[in-house]
Structure 1
């Protein structure tokens, strides 16, 4: 029996939260002791993960709920709004860190950070990369976009520690380059802002009713070509709601086919595509006769019949 998706989300998020707290305290403490502004910024980034963890813990209780009378298409948009919250939070954190780093560039340089900052950054890279890989596995089990977004938040945290480690070593090798730590903090900022965009943009497209899957039309056409009774499919439309996709299209059958037979063909075809496309949760098929008035892909020629 498959494990409850909510349990998977909560387990992955709680484990991530414990790791985030531990690393955030470590990096901020070591950053203050060694004078590494970049490591402190990286620690603040780790603390921001806690807010996204909380959002996922709360939001998952809603977006995993089944469709009801008030939400006949399900509650997937709660996951969309959770992703938007995560993206906006990352954006704000990134802008704040970037502003502090730019301000520091115009002042007297800090002392060279101690090598303890290097080892703290290395520990963060290793732990957060492992956490990213494990969280992605959990996200794929239940096809959760929010959990996947949070996994990328972990990887961003790992990547953001890399310039910190490089800056500490470079400051020892080239002590005259006083502002390498601030430059590293700016690189961290760029990584955070990139992650924010990659989380926000798909959520924005979803809210604006963009096509749910760019490749779904070709898939449906391919599946339809394997069914002799289906003469044509067109007007294929999809939209995403959280981690799921809703689909509708027109299916053309021979004009002489009985309504009952056409319905049977459409139900079998619906079951087939639902089994083939994991994210797909509902399909609406509009049955039409294969006549000149309805044909789109293969329109009738003036001197030919519709057969």
Structure 2
């Protein structure tokens, strides 16, 4: 299934689940169910953002965007996480109000059934999207999958709280579980924000990734003298890598070009969407640089 079809599926499923949770939330009077409906509505909005961000990020480079549109995914991921924070704050405020004005929950069985249904649907779809996101290294799709995955646990937790309220009559459990749910989804949002936002500031790839790329370069050390000024960054699903490569003055342009092509191709096997730029330097212009 294509990425566009996956995001469309996510939008449709989220829309159905949001409508069901909102209806049941107001029927039961449960702030936890209503808060979960708000959470799912954020998932719906996130799915819509993901759909458009992937389409934008997939556009080829043009005159106005010579480096492509990859950062659209990072922008989308950042917006989605901020939306989760807003939802979490709203849930906590409503839960505090529920503590001061408690009332009996109506039709708890209906609420439990809808929560379990939503959890089952989102579990299946989140796994499918996560596999596709890992394969494409898409930040926006990873963000969408995380939204759906957290929805699974929050739905199950609220189903459990409704059952406990029904069995014990402890109405305070409803806002308590809602607050715990809010804190959990805000924590998950914070982790995702640390992944989606740094590329907007052109943060380098992590140490393990850079070491793997340098290992690929050094596998050809018999064909060059040294490399320096190594730089890397990520934009959406694409990685940008550039460095200076010092070669022997006796090497022909054709030979040097073939060496660069070989290195670029092998880095491309490690990162399928990597954009590699190699600046060649002849030996007589070599200066004293550190390789790393």
- Normalising by structure 1, we get a TM-score of 0.85
Max Rg structure:
1
Q: Where does residue 17 of structure 2 map in the other structure? A: 23
Q: Where does residue 254 of structure 1 map in the other structure? A: 248
More helix by share: 2
Q: How does 1:69-88 map to 2 (within 5 A)?
A: 69-88=63-82
1:161, 1:188 within 8 Å by CA — same for their partners in 2? no
2:239, 2:271 within 8 Å by CA — same for their partners in 1? no
Q: Where does residue 178 of structure 2 map in the other structure? A: 185
Q: How does 1:51-70 map to 2 (within 5 A)?
A: 51-70=45-64
Kindly provide the CA deviation profile for residues 213-254 of structure 1, in whole angstroms up to 9, marking residues without a partner as x: 432321122112322213333332111111111101122333
Question: What RMSD in Å do the two structures reach over aligned CA positions?
Answer: 2.3
Give the drift of 1:160: 1.2
- Tell me, yes or no, if structure 1 residue 215 matches structure 2 residue 198: no
Q: Where does residue 194 of structure 2 map in the other structure? A: 201
> Unaligned 5+ residue runs, structure 2?
none
CA pair 10-261 structure 1, distance change in 2 beyond 3 A:
closer
Kindly provide the CA deviation profile for residues 258-292 of structure 1, in whole angstroms up to 9, marking residues without a partner as x: 44422321222112211222341x11112235687
Distance in 2, Cα, partners of 1:53 & 1:207: 21
Instruction: Tell me which of 197, 219, 228 is aligned to 1:226.
Output: 219
Distance in 2, Cα, partners of 1:173 & 1:230: 74
Distance in 1, Cα, partners of 2:262 & 2:287: 26
> Unaligned 5+ residue runs, structure 1?
299-307
CA pair 104-200 structure 1, distance change in 2 beyond 3 A:
same
